[in-house]
Amino acid sequence: MTTFSATFAVTGMSCGHCVSAVTRAVQQVDAGANVQVDLDKQTVAVTSSASADAVKAAIEQAGYPVKAVA
């Protein structure tokens, strides 16, 4: 299984609920994904076996715009 690691610039996150919502959204795409949310930097670091596009779409469907991927 191939995995990728990426850091997404995500706007609109401000609290623990946001962290939970983003984490759940990513883990619905890949239950084994490692998700690290940094509220101060407004980033989400993900290591996943799902595609970067699928992870980005999941975050956006949860209501959090993704501005960039690094």
Number of domains comprising the chain: 1
Q: Residue 56: give the domain boundaries.
A: 4-69
Residue 2 confidence class, pLDDT cut points 50, 70, 90: confident
Measure CA of the first residue to CA of the last residue in the chain; give whole Å. Answer: 21
The CA radius of gyration of the chain, in Å to the nearest whole number, is 11
Give the relative orientation of helices 52-61 and 16-29 as an angle to the nearest 10 degrees: 140
Each residue of 7-38: pLDDT tens digit? 999 999 999 999 999 999 999 999 999 999 99
**DSSP category for residue 34:** E
The pTM score is: 0.93
Give the domain CATH number at 52.
Answer: 3.30.70.100
What is the Cα–Cα distance from 48 to 40, expressed in whole angstroms? 23
